[in-house]
Amino acid sequence: MPVDPNALATWANAVTVSRILVSPLLFTVIPLDNAGSWLAAWLWFVLCVSDVLDGYLARRHGSTRSGAFLDPLADKVLVLGAMFTLVNRGMFSIWPVVIIAIREVIVSVYRVVVGAKGVSVPASRIAKIKTLSQQISIGFALAPFSALDMTYAWKTTLWLAVSLTIISGIQYAVRAFRPGFILRRAAK
């Protein structure tokens, strides 16, 4: 049975909020020695899979306005929190993470502003691939088998994520500055 689009208490939202609440635990278990941690890697994997689960639940039972806001927020809290923790631990360089963070903040603010006008801005295909590459990069940086011995794996996927971050940011900007974009979207 479909849920009311204005509902707050849904299974999908419960999973999303759980992801946000568990994220500080993840940041705490990321090791200081950059050697990776199976606990951190498995917790990261569970949090990434739960993103798929909340998307499935939202599609099955119906998406809500609160879910449309909370799901991208949870993604950003998890990804940026893990990335900045890895910067703090000396594993990730600050610049790729700053580039990713700036784009995420700009797109989030844009979504809130146009959302107030009744416009929904769903994630593009490139943005979804960007998020996946960010998740994979963090996963490689956390897994003991690749943290130190396969640094090329997380470095390559991190820079892939940066590239996709820039491309998807440009894609959103082009759409946003298209004449009448907000008016056409709000009229639907």
Q: Minimal CA–CA distance to 14: which of 77, 58, 49, 48?
A: 58
> Does residue 5 fall inside a structural domain?
no
- Give pLDDT, residue 63: 75
pLDDT tens, 5-32?
A: 666 678 888 888 999 999 999 999 998 8
Q: How far from each other are the two terminal CA atoms of the chain, in whole angstroms?
A: 24
* Within-domain flag for 1: no
For the domain that residue 157 is a member of, what is the CATH number? 1.20.120.1760
At residue 5, the pLDDT reads 60
* DSSP assigned state of 44: H
In-domain check, residue 179? yes
Percent residues over pLDDT 70 in the chain: 90
123: nearest Cα among 139, 98, 102, 103:
103
Domain span holding position 56: 11-187
Q: How many structural domains does the chain have? A: 1
Quote the tokens at residue 93: 């360089």
Least trusted range by pLDDT, from 95-99, 143-147, 184-188: 184-188
What phi and psi values does residue 114 have, to the nearest 5 degrees? -75, -25
The arithmetic mean of pLDDT across residues 66-84, rounded, is 88
Beta carbons within 10 angstroms of residue 178's beta carbon = 10
Measuring CA to CA, how many Å separate 167 from each of 21, 62, 79, 115, 162?
30, 30, 18, 22, 9
d(CA 142, CA 156): 15
Q: What is the tens place of the pLDDT at every residue in 105-154? A: 999 898 888 877 877 777 789 988 999 999 999 999 999 999 888 889 99
43-61 pLDDT tens trace: 999 999 988 888 788 778 7
In a domain, residue 109? The reply is yes
Residue 61 lies in a domain: yes
Q: Is 6 a member of any domain? A: no
Assigned domain for 17 exists: yes
